[in-house]
Each structure stands twice: as C-alpha cells, then as structure tokens.
Structure 1
C-alpha cells in the first residue's frame, strides 16, 4: 500500500532524513520508533506531502506520489494526524468532524453515516458533540483529530505521536482505539516515542536514529531485541 525508497529530507543544509526506506502493506500497522530528533516526524510529514522530499520516492498503492501536496495526498487516500493536535476551537465536535470530509462534499449520506460511526467509536466525543472543540481536554482533542482524519475514508492513516503529553489512562484509551481502527483493515503508520506501547499494537517496526533506519523487523523481534534501548536512545 505504501512504499518509501531512499527518502531524504533537508532543512537547508541539515539532512534530517537520510536514505530511509520502509513499507506498509495493506491492513498493516507499522511503527516508526526513535528518540526525539531521530527524524521520525520529518519522515511522516514528507509522506503526507507537508514537506518536500530532497531525494528518494514515495509510492501509494503503486502510484508515485513523491511530489504530491497535502490536499492531493488526502484525495489519494492518505490522512494525517499531526502531533500538534490542532482542532478548530470555536467549532463544535460535530462541525470539526464534518470538515474532515471536505473531499467528499457530494456524498452527504456517506458523510452522515461516517460521522455517526466515529461518534460510536469515540463515545466521549458523542457526549460532547455540541461542545466547541476548544473546551475539550487534551485526550478528547486527540480523539477528535483522529476521528476527523477518518472522515476522509483514508486507505492509509499517518499518526504522529498520539500519546504525547497525555495521562497514562488516556494513552491506554487512545491505543485501544488505534487497535480497533487497525482491525477494520486500515493501513496505519504510527510515529511514537513510547516504544513499548507502539509495539503492543504494531505488526512491524522501524527504529530510527540520526535520520537513518537503525533496525527493523516484526514488532516481536524489535521488542525482544536486547539492544533496543541502545538503538532507541542512540547509544
């Protein structure tokens, strides 16, 4: 479904991502792990079209999308949940969800059906459907941005640090919802610093260090690696 080959991302003279290759098959949950500054989010944002690739290629379902912008990526079937957890604070939860379906404006019945499905999947959001999104807690806002991304009916969901800054009990809830989305057959690429939590839901994982892939394998293989801490922390 998604194939990245020899990807390079630059910020001026700085090479943030250097020769990264990875793939995610249909229905797989692939985790990208690593310490802060390893290049994980830059890789994800480049896949999403928010950053321009300085080299390499990105293919989605066999099609080259290396030069696509974020809107084209959404229309192609890629939805992104950035770590900034941005909501439209003055709009209600329901209105935020509806905005997530802007590429499907002609499919009113389908949009309504999907909105109800998201509210069923995220009961906390259903309870607050008429509230301004800016009044939600951090965990509720994270649920909202994931649900809003799903409103585009993506083939691939890109999640950037969904546990960042959340209480452990909320993190558990978020990851249970990620597991539910995976079970629906969705392809998910998850960037996460919480390695153990990510590996608990992932099929395969890549560990990044200093902009490169330092290790890769099944979630079980990466989780069992005796040198995971050294790889993860850059030791």
Structure 2
C-alpha cells in the first residue's frame, strides 16, 4: 500500500533522512520509532508532499507520489495528522470536519455518511459539533484533527506524535482510538516517541537513528532484539 525506496530528504545542505526503505501492507499499522532528530517527522512530511525528496521514491498503491503536491497526495488517498494539532480555532468542530472533506465537496451524500462514521468513532466531537474548535481541550483537539483527516476518506493515514503533550489518561484514550481505526482496515503509519504505546498497537516497527533505519521487525522482535535505550539515548 505504501513504500519508500532509498528515500532521502535534505534541509538545505543537511541530509536529514538517508536512503531509507520501508513498506506498509494494506491494513497494517507500522510504527516509526526514534528519538528527537532521528528523521521520523521529516519522513512523514516528505511522504505527505510538504517536503521534497532529495532522492529515492515514494509509492502509494503502486502509484509514484514522490513529486506530488500535498493536495495531490490527499487526492491519491493519503491523509496526515501533524504533530502540531492545528485546528481552525474560530470555526466550529463541524466546520473543521467539513474542511477535511473538501476534496469530496460535491459528494454531499457521501460526506454525510462519512460524518456519521466519524461521529460514531468520536462521539465527543458529535456532542461538541457547534463548539468553536479553539475552546476544546488538547485531547479533544487531537481527536478533531484525526477525525478531520478521516473526512478525506484516506486509504493510508499518517499519524505524527499523537500523544505529544497530552496527559497519560488522554494518551490511553487516543491509542484506544488508533486501535479502533486499525480494526476498520485502515493502513496506518505511526510516528511516536512513546515506545511502549507504539509497539502495543503496531504490527511491525522501524527504528530510526540519525536519519537512518537501524532496526526493523515485528513489535515482538523489536522488543526482544533491539537496544532501544541505545537508539534513544545514544548509549
């Protein structure tokens, strides 16, 4: 469903991601692990079209999206939830969600049906549909940006640090939602520093360090064979 082949990404003269390769099969949840500065979020931004590749290729369902714009990437079936949790604060929850459906704006019946599914997954958003998004709690805003991404009807969802800055109880709730999304058959690439949470929901994982993939395997294999302390703390 999603494949990176020898992907490199540069920030000016600095190579932040160095010839990495990975795959996601349809319906898989794959975690991309690593410390700050490992290149995880840069990789997601490149896949989403926000950063240009400095080499290699990105394939989405056998289609080359390496040079695609962010809008073209969304239209191809890939949606991203950035770590910044950006909502449109002065717009209501409902208006934020409908902005996520912009590429399907002419399919009103389909959008209504999809909105019902999103409300079923996130009942708290249904309760607050008329509320300004800027007045939501941090956890509710995280729910909103995930739900807004789902309104584009993606085949692949990229999640960038969904637990960032949230209280432990809210983090547990967010990961319960991620597991629910996984059970729907959605293909998910999860970037996350919370190793235990990420491996608990993942089918497979890749570990990045200094722009390279240094380990890969099933969640159980990563736990058993990879010195995560070394890769996170540089020991």
TM-score tier (shorter) = over 0.9
Residues of 2 paired with 1:234 and 1:217: CA distance? 21
Residue 233 of structure 1, CA deviation: 2.6
Which residue pairs with 1:103 in the alignment?
Answer: 103
Residues of 1 paired with 2:222 and 2:29: CA distance? 14
Residue 117 of structure 1, CA deviation: 1.4
- Conserved in 2, the CA contact under 8 Å of 1:207 and 1:213? yes
- Conserved in 1, the CA contact under 8 Å of 2:9 and 2:18? yes
Alignment of 1:1-235 (within 5 A): 1-225=1-225, 227-235=227-235
Q: TM-score, normalised by structure 2?
A: 0.98
Residue 226 of structure 1, CA deviation: 5.4
Q: TM-score, normalised by structure 1?
A: 0.98
- Conserved in 2, the CA contact under 8 Å of 1:17 and 1:212? yes
Q: Deviations over 1:82-121 (max 9, x none)?
A: 0010001111101111110001011101101111211121
More moved, 110-119 vs 27-36: 110-119
Unaligned runs of 5+ in 2: none
Residues of 2 paired with 1:207 and 1:9: CA distance? 17
Residues of 1 paired with 2:233 and 2:107: CA distance? 47
- Conserved in 2, the CA contact under 8 Å of 1:35 and 1:234? no
- Conserved in 1, the CA contact under 8 Å of 2:207 and 2:214? yes
Residue 39 of structure 1, CA deviation: 0.3
Residues of 2 paired with 1:26 and 1:170: CA distance? 28
Residues of 1 paired with 2:226 and 2:43: CA distance? 26
Residues of 1 paired with 2:233 and 2:46: CA distance? 23
Residues of 2 paired with 1:203 and 1:62: CA distance? 22
Residues of 2 paired with 1:11 and 1:230: CA distance? 25
SS of match in other structure, 2:32: strand
Unaligned runs of 5+ in 1: none
Residues of 1 paired with 2:160 and 2:4: CA distance? 17
- Conserved in 2, the CA contact under 8 Å of 1:10 and 1:16? yes
Residue 204 of structure 1, CA deviation: 0.3
Residues of 1 paired with 2:67 and 2:225: CA distance? 36
